[in-house]
Structure 1
Amino acid sequence: MRPIWGYAGKCVYIILAFFYLTGCNTDTAIKDEQADPVLVEYPVIYIQRDLAALDGDEGAQPASFDSRHPAQFNPGAQLFVKRNAFSDSPTTNISAQLFADLLPEDAPADTIQAIDIRDLSVSDDGQQFLVSIRAPEIEDADEMDQPSWNIWRYQLATQTLERVIVSDTTAEQGDDLMASFLPDGRIIFASTRQRLSRAILLDEGKPQYTALDESRDNETFNIHVMNADGSGIEQLSFNLSHDTHPLVLQSGKILYSRWDNMGGNKGINLYEMNPDGTDNQLMFGWHSHQVAFDQQDELIEFVKPQQLPNGEILLLLSSQDETSYQKRPVVINIEEFTDNQQPTFASGANDSAINDLAFSFEFNFNFSDNLSPSGRLTHLTPLPDNSQRYLLSWDLCRVVIEEQIRACGQLTDEQLLDPALELADPLYELWLLNDADGTQQLVADSEEGKVITEALVMQPSSQPKTFIANKVIGNELDAQLHEELAAAIDIRSVYDFDGQDSSANLGGVSQLSDPTQTRATELPARFLKVVRGVPMPSDEVRDIPNTDFGRSRNQLMREIIGYTPIQPDGSVKIKVPANVPLAISVLDASGQRIGGRHSQWISLKPGETLQCKGCHTANSQLPHGRYDAQAESINPGATGGAAFTNATQNIIPTQGQTMAQADAMVNGIAELSANLTYEDRWTNPALSTVNPSTDYSYQNLATPAPNGSECFNNWNAYCRIQINYEEHIQPLWDLQRLAIDETTLAVLADNTCTSCHSIVDDNNLAQVPAGQLELVATPSTDQPAHFTSYRELFFNDVEQEDIDGIIVDRLVVALDADGNIVYQVDSEGELILDAEGNPIPVMTTVNVPAIMSTNGASASSNFFDTMNDVTHQNMLSADELKLIAEWIDIGAQYYNTPFYTQE
């Protein structure tokens, strides 16, 4: 039995893999008799912070850690170095004098600065570590003028702590966090710098600004890389919400946490990419945010992964209480699973991917507020030496009984079950846990009101990381695409839904791809649309009123990158811009979206080709977004050496090629178009009739074409189509549409939309708008920032009628759920009678539902069906209907630029 010290004045005894606390009136530390190199040779680094860190109107507030607000400032942290892991070894506060030059001249020498510190990461050789530090608040300065988070490096040889980026100007250009060393010495980190994204905004003709996340709360973090001296900063990821916590795996790949927030919060999931930003893909967690622990579901996020020496991924699950420090250590099998209950198709694994980290002790670390004999855990990191040892910040189980703090080990089982037991205030100390022999060693004590939040040992790793070189232009990266700052998306078949053929009822891919069996008009999927998310500026750049988004801000603002035909077998290979967040939609022949919106941003590096097997249904939990985890494609491709079955002899595919791949081989990778253009390339005229061409073009419009459409006459990576309601949709309602007799030139009818859909006729007399729909360009009485027509199309209204030349809301007698008349009653519930003694019925308006929906064109069938009925047929052209459909499909925003009203 070996005593190990738990907190000042108490000691812990290990007995049968459990611990008890007993009184020990001594403060002497007990050392191991054996010469353990971790305890003797290697320094221990840890961060200690105040539990109450933020000064609010009512004094100090609890420090808060929100994964969706990575740059939050919690002053009150200090950085310590211990010579070794003995509890009584010398400890140095290496952060104490970091910003001494900012102190007043009369400040005491031992003044501790109110700074924040986080994100420890050690190099593989154990000779240096990285840490994120933020300087003290500047009194009375605006938020934008406050100090930024910077990355600092400590070098063991010189025992110096210095900022990686030396230049003050460069260091303050963004918040830098969560740094780690790459095998070649470079540093990968999360940052709000958005260097390349800001440059692309200029190339797109927009102001340069730092974008906010999709909730419009904080500046967006993306993954960046820089040289060891802070030079050569390069942006690697391009999510519109946060990409954080890059972890360099033993394989050399980068595992990181991505907040998927497109069109609404989808949670924080684990993604993986190469150190040059290529092969960026979802790895784990999309459907695993509700996981059952201890017979109850917990909402979890996949934040700050670590890798155990055996290769497993360690995650410390957090409580949903942002001020709670309690963590639950779990391991995740991301090699064989894409979700907790979903293995990859090739793995054959079963059970669950997420499991509690196994200890030889009977530990039960969790984030419940209930008493646990195991105590509470707030940090755990494995030693990098295969020794099954961990550094952990541990609050041993203590309770308050009769105003005295007692260790849980001193209580009986019956006492521990007492629901009235009160947990003592947290006292987190740093421990070295050896799970191989069941021992624990106190490393650093603490005091109430403080907590040790992170720690590491400066010890060489027994699993050095593999170096992955950047992909080579002309080899792994296409040289021509790279030169054009473009990439390619290569989809085997849009009819492939999670390995199931959605075209099976039409004969399957083999029948659809045979021109003699299936005409183009019979193909359900005709075009692919690519959309770009517009980065949201901060209020200092442009204070965007919510009315700019229109009926719903769920999709924020969107620009169309362009269109391309889908080949008969459902395949697509298309050139797209690199380094921007993209989403895709499958369209029918008229340009309306089929199915739901894409819910993940795609971004590619210049010269890269993204291989996709197919699509994914919204509710399916089968693997998606991760190429090697999915089922085999439904589209086997060509046999090779001969034309596709009954197709043209002009395109001879190689073995396994899809129609899109074969077409790109012969005709080059397709470029995106502003138009829905189709030309039959596959029909063999000797065997069947060539399909007619189609071309829905902005050039056919008599109203202004969407902004940027002219760029596609000579496509480049910065071509964008922007549709704004006032500029491009309202003119469709205002356009004069006269039916004229060709012989007499007499006006037979005025089909202008606003001639019927207005509250006044051509003689300026009152009229009820046709279909109870008013399409005029006057400010709405409900919302002056919107035209009346927009509100009428997307918001429920009330039916109107003409009474003596005045348009009023139509009132009808109200009925209850059983169809009985509802009468007016007074405050006592008694019937109110009219002059003749009869009860007075309650009158109510008649609801007129909105004819359009921001959910998309398919959800706006009332409008499109009306435009095809006998009354309205051919009043709007196919090109005009396509414009309306594509605008609704991207969200029906009032504006799709943050700067419309300033232009």
Structure 2
Amino acid sequence: MAGCGGGSSDSSGLGGDQAEDPVVVDYPVVYVRRALPRDEEGELAGDSVYSPATFNPGAELLLRDRATATAPERSLTEDLFVSDEEAGIVFEGGYDVKDLAVSADGSQLAFAMRAPDIEGLDDDEQPSWNIWLYEFESAELTRVISSDLIAEEGDDISPAFLPDGRLAFTSTRQRRSRALLLDDNKPQFSALAENLDEPAFVLHVMEADGSDIQQISYNQSHDLTPTVLSNGRILFNRWDNMGGTDRLSLYTVKPDGTDLQLYYGYHSQATGTGSGTDAVTATFSKPQQMPDGRILVTLRTPEGIAYGGDMVVIDAENYSEAFSEAEQQGALQGQESLSVEQVIIDGGLSPHGLFANAWAFHDGTSRLLVSWSECRVIEPGTATETEAGITQPCTDEWLATPDIEPADPLYGLWIYDYDEGTQRPIIQPEEGVMISEAVTADTRPVPTFIPQPIPGIDIDRDLYDEGMAVLDIRSVYDLDGVELLDIDVLADPLQTTAAERPARFLRVVKAVGIPDEDILDFDRSAFGRNRSQLMREIVGYTPIQPDGSVRVKVPADTPLAISVVDENGRRLFGRHNNWLQFRAGELRKCQGCHIADSEVPHGRTDMEPASAWGGAPTSALAFPNTEPGLTADMGETMAQLLARVAGHPELEGDLNFSDNWTDPALRAKDPSSELLMSDLTTPAPTTLPCLSSWSADCRTVIHYPDHIQPLWDLPREITDDMGTVLEDRTCTACHSNRDAAGMSQVPPGQLDLRGDQSGVNNNYSTSYVELIFDNPTEELRDGAVQNVLVQDTDDDGNLLFETNEEGELILDLDGNPIPVMVTVNIQRIMDTSGASASRFFNVFEAGGVHEGELSAAELRLISEWLDIGAQYYNNPFEAPVN
């Protein structure tokens, strides 16, 4: 029995003539055989984990009753898709199938399948991916969702069996998110992932008959490949892509969507071929739990054309990251390869070959069912336009041959024993086709059942009925388990006044779903200069208590992010680049804050460090020097105490502060303060009812043309008692390209705040371009405003002159070299990274040239807008359409 295809020998030393394995022959095996995907030019098509809805027709779902090379195979889906011309359904090409999963008792197979294209239909009318079930005993094959109408609501892939018989899967149907769009007066649609290429796949569960479909995750990018751990939690691969983060890590969540936690690898993205920061970025694809509790994944590049990677096991019970030291330094301890020889996954040749999929036997052995391709090259000079060329194995001799090119992969099906170092063939590879994945119908322990929480018993009934949850932060001054400031001192009113505490309010921000062009073809310039934040809405604010604690009601089933802001409403730390989710009635606790590059486990409750804030040191006493009537329970935070006494606070639209803590017998209470949106004399970015009474449905939605530009246009005239205008301080009266006499001028401060269309970037107003983009310094020359030009220099400071293609100087009519002239950009006035990074506010501070000329409410509005990304619009349905 040949070890490899094409008649070549197996350079790995595995395979060859080996007898059938008597331990595993009785297990039925189901596998997917498909034509190698190719593009229109006949080249191998790209394979991207970022595009889970990709349709590659030409697959077959096959079954062998025994996992042996001699067992006959039969198709499970033969004649399933038959054209019906009378009904107007004519299938074109083949179907596609993927994501095989077997129930714990080995009786059922679940998988995702997409029917062939239907002749005459547009792309958006073609069949969707559906979940199917196959019963091994009865040989019955059924689509889980029987209704065509419901089945076609979205693409459903990656099924996994829950211990109670339900199915977890990932889908673009976004059932709950679509329903909530109606509350925002928007049509129902499946929002695009943050790369804006296709709708986001998020986790759902349903009954085995397709009923009671429930959305359980609310990421704004893909949640992929769910599997069920032995403890009953769902393990999946989450794409964190907020603000261009671009990380594919492992997360877990309960089957009802509560208690979402990072599980492994957020800071271990570069664990492919190479070492340290030079290692190749790789993703943990197709996770499943091994009998020993470790997580088996295919470690592969997120995008490629080889369809494979390395077999890797992750010890996530003991490690949350791969390396012993930060920034992917030190020993690799969280994961290891199961391949007997190194697998290279940098896009080049891997002499030991590649693994497209691996499936663990639960029989007490170290055997895996693997789809494996040997490494092959094309012999130089043998390929023609019509012939693929002669292939050779990746021996040292052939790898050293000049001008070699990789041959097509050749994936067959094998039983791989990583302890014994043996590899036995089940299905020999064939040119032009591949075994992309396979599973066995053996039995395995049933995972622990996690019951659905009961409102009124397990979770707060009132919160559940309101569609709300509670966020509890122990202290925002806790930075990865270390005190950022002395919390005892901050919490003591005699040692710290409110004005001396940096963190004053928590801002809660909501993602805005972006529709595809079939729903709304809006001008994508609406995102503004930096589209990484897409669009955002502000849900509200809540005060941060003196000890840094927060406890507040937040909307459930909504992707949220939080920011700590100062008394002026400006964000203190970097953006929170992970979406938080809450289910109705859920209480989510957080120790504190963390910095983006910290590898301390944050949010994984079994590993995170102890809280830096112990809370109340004893029961039945007040916090030191606070209101004596506010007595705490030992360990309580100030926010928890207030919530216990007065109930959970709701978010507010404004920044309102009152001193609940200072004991007036010891010193006067800190003065109350408010920063009100209703103080704006320009259009407010919310509804009139919300200005007077903020509710859970209220939002702050800021559009630059509608809410920021009016600040520059607002008349600001200084008059005497008779109403005579003494001075016009309107922003645009000064910051314009024309002076009071209508003559051309360089705008003061090199800043033009006019609202007309920019001549530099006609997608935006002049003021937006001037504030947000890099702009050249200008001067008045010959009666016209022109860019200041200076002679360019090289890296060593030498002056540069124009040269021709040969590098020779180009001379002017007088025979002199022509200098290379360039513009000089001024420092950007506003920064899309936030208000604190923008020099705009300096001129309005005490002693600044514009001190007092913008109100506190106006400066707050500008700060909010910058903090959420400085978008041009924050509602696609109010942006200009194409």
| TM-score, length basis structure 2 | 0.91
2:473 matched to 1:494?
Answer: no
Post-superposition shift, 1:626?
2.0
**Comparing 414-423 with 472-481, which one deviates more in the overlay?**
414-423
Post-superposition shift, 1:241?
0.4
Which of 361, 369, 388 is the equivalent residue of 1:383? Answer: 361
2:542 is paired with a residue whose SS is strand
Tell me the alpha carbon deviations over residues 219-272 of structure 1, each in whole angstroms, 9 at most, x when there is no partner: 110000000100110100000000111110011100101100000033111111
Post-superposition shift, 1:546?
2.9
**Comparing 425-434 with 192-201, which one deviates more in the overlay?**
425-434
The answer (yes or no) to whether the contact 1:495–1:614 under 8 Å persists in 2 is: yes
**Comparing 608-617 with 623-632, which one deviates more in the overlay?**
623-632
Letter in 2 for 1:310: D
Post-superposition shift, 1:816?
4.7
* Equivalent-residue separation in structure 1 for 2:539 and 2:182 (angstroms): 17
Which of 758, 763, 784 is the equivalent residue of 1:785? Answer: 763
2:502 is paired with a residue whose SS is coil
* Equivalent-residue separation in structure 2 for 1:7 and 1:427 (angstroms): 9
Tell me the alpha carbon deviations over residues 817-869 of structure 1, each in whole angstroms, 9 at most, x when there is no partner: 798987889996365366xx999877765533331111111111244335544
1:547 is paired with a residue whose SS is helix
Post-superposition shift, 1:61?
4.0
2:582 matched to 1:604?
Answer: yes
CA shift in 2, pair 1:845/1:397, >3 Å: closer
* Equivalent-residue separation in structure 2 for 1:608 and 1:692 (angstroms): 35
2:793 matched to 1:809?
Answer: no
Letter in 2 for 1:49: R
2:385 corresponds to: none
Which of 648, 653, 660 is the equivalent residue of 2:632? Answer: 653
2:595 corresponds to: 617
* Equivalent-residue separation in structure 2 for 1:133 and 1:292 (angstroms): 31
**Comparing 590-599 with 444-453, which one deviates more in the overlay?**
444-453
The answer (yes or no) to whether the contact 1:204–1:719 under 8 Å persists in 2 is: no
* Equivalent-residue separation in structure 2 for 1:669 and 1:867 (angstroms): 36
2:514 matched to 1:536?
Answer: yes
The answer (yes or no) to whether the contact 1:132–1:151 under 8 Å persists in 2 is: yes
CA shift in 2, pair 1:712/1:273, >3 Å: farther
* Equivalent-residue separation in structure 2 for 1:152 and 1:888 (angstroms): 47
Once the two structures are superposed, the pairs formed by residues 137-216 of structure 1 within 5 Å of their partners are: 137-216=117-196
Which of 273, 278, 281 is the equivalent residue of 1:299? Answer: 281
CA shift in 2, pair 1:394/1:664, >3 Å: same
CA shift in 2, pair 1:746/1:338, >3 Å: same
* Equivalent-residue separation in structure 1 for 2:803 and 2:437 (angstroms): 67
Tell me the alpha carbon deviations over residues 660-711 of structure 1, each in whole angstroms, 9 at most, x when there is no partner: 1111111211211111110110011100111011111011111111124743
1:718 corresponds to: 697
* Equivalent-residue separation in structure 1 for 2:313 and 2:804 (angstroms): 65
CA shift in 2, pair 1:47/1:870, >3 Å: closer
Tell me the alpha carbon deviations over residues 173-216 of structure 1, each in whole angstroms, 9 at most, x when there is no partner: 10000001100000000000001001111112222211101110
Which of 550, 553, 572 is the equivalent residue of 1:594? Answer: 572
CA shift in 2, pair 1:239/1:369, >3 Å: closer
2:177 is paired with a residue whose SS is helix
* Equivalent-residue separation in structure 1 for 2:37 and 2:162 (angstroms): 35
Post-superposition shift, 1:460?
1.4
2:23 matched to 1:43?
Answer: no
2:428 corresponds to: 445
1:304 is paired with a residue whose SS is strand
**Comparing 686-695 with 62-71, which one deviates more in the overlay?**
62-71
**Comparing 327-336 with 768-777, which one deviates more in the overlay?**
768-777
2:472 matched to 1:456?
Answer: no
Tell me the alpha carbon deviations over residues 283-310 of structure 1, each in whole angstroms, 9 at most, x when there is no partner: 1111111126465612111222111111
Letter in 2 for 1:430: L
The answer (yes or no) to whether the contact 1:673–1:712 under 8 Å persists in 2 is: no
The answer (yes or no) to whether the contact 2:843–2:850 under 8 Å persists in 1 is: no
CA shift in 2, pair 1:19/1:278, >3 Å: closer
1:774 is paired with a residue whose SS is coil
1:733 corresponds to: 712
* Equivalent-residue separation in structure 1 for 2:377 and 2:736 (angstroms): 74
* Equivalent-residue separation in structure 1 for 2:533 and 2:740 (angstroms): 39
Which of 73, 76, 101 is the equivalent residue of 2:58? Answer: 76
Post-superposition shift, 1:352?
3.1
1:468 corresponds to: 450
The answer (yes or no) to whether the contact 1:342–1:623 under 8 Å persists in 2 is: no
* Equivalent-residue separation in structure 2 for 1:824 and 1:98 (angstroms): 69
The answer (yes or no) to whether the contact 1:312–1:333 under 8 Å persists in 2 is: yes
1:26 corresponds to: none
1:303 is paired with a residue whose SS is strand
2:258 matched to 1:278?
Answer: yes
**Comparing 428-437 with 328-337, which one deviates more in the overlay?**
428-437
* Equivalent-residue separation in structure 2 for 1:373 and 1:768 (angstroms): 65
Post-superposition shift, 1:415?
5.2
2:709 is paired with a residue whose SS is helix
Letter in 2 for 1:206: K
Post-superposition shift, 1:429?
2.1
* Equivalent-residue separation in structure 2 for 1:729 and 1:852 (angstroms): 13
2:439 matched to 1:433?
Answer: no
* Equivalent-residue separation in structure 2 for 1:209 and 1:399 (angstroms): 47
2:70 corresponds to: 88
**Comparing 87-96 with 582-591, which one deviates more in the overlay?**
87-96
1:731 is paired with a residue whose SS is helix
2:543 matched to 1:553?
Answer: no
CA shift in 2, pair 1:363/1:566, >3 Å: same
Tell me the alpha carbon deviations over residues 64-89 of structure 1, each in whole angstroms, 9 at most, x when there is no partner: 32111000011111010112122222
CA shift in 2, pair 1:493/1:19, >3 Å: closer
Letter in 1 for 2:581: S
2:213 corresponds to: 233
Letter in 1 for 2:74: T
The answer (yes or no) to whether the contact 1:833–1:840 under 8 Å persists in 2 is: no
Once the two structures are superposed, the pairs formed by residues 667-686 of structure 1 within 5 Å of their partners are: 667-686=646-665
CA shift in 2, pair 1:342/1:626, >3 Å: farther
* Equivalent-residue separation in structure 2 for 1:618 and 1:247 (angstroms): 28
1:25 corresponds to: none
Post-superposition shift, 1:815?
6.9
2:279 is paired with a residue whose SS is strand
2:386 corresponds to: none
Post-superposition shift, 1:765?
4.3
The answer (yes or no) to whether the contact 1:740–1:749 under 8 Å persists in 2 is: yes
Post-superposition shift, 1:43?
1.7
* Equivalent-residue separation in structure 2 for 1:300 and 1:437 (angstroms): 27
Once the two structures are superposed, the pairs formed by residues 563-574 of structure 1 within 5 Å of their partners are: 563-574=541-552
* Equivalent-residue separation in structure 2 for 1:585 and 1:788 (angstroms): 30
2:531 is paired with a residue whose SS is coil
CA shift in 2, pair 1:290/1:458, >3 Å: same
2:865 corresponds to: 887
* Equivalent-residue separation in structure 1 for 2:804 and 2:366 (angstroms): 77
Post-superposition shift, 1:396?
4.8
Report the count of equivalent residues.
865
2:302 matched to 1:325?
Answer: no
* Equivalent-residue separation in structure 2 for 1:888 and 1:422 (angstroms): 50
1:643 corresponds to: 622
The answer (yes or no) to whether the contact 2:3–2:14 under 8 Å persists in 1 is: no
The answer (yes or no) to whether the contact 2:248–2:284 under 8 Å persists in 1 is: yes
CA shift in 2, pair 1:438/1:163, >3 Å: same
The answer (yes or no) to whether the contact 2:810–2:818 under 8 Å persists in 1 is: no
* Equivalent-residue separation in structure 2 for 1:254 and 1:8 (angstroms): 38
2:356 is paired with a residue whose SS is strand
**Comparing 451-460 with 367-376, which one deviates more in the overlay?**
367-376
Bigger-Rg structure (1/2) = 1
CA shift in 2, pair 1:612/1:164, >3 Å: same
The answer (yes or no) to whether the contact 1:11–1:21 under 8 Å persists in 2 is: no
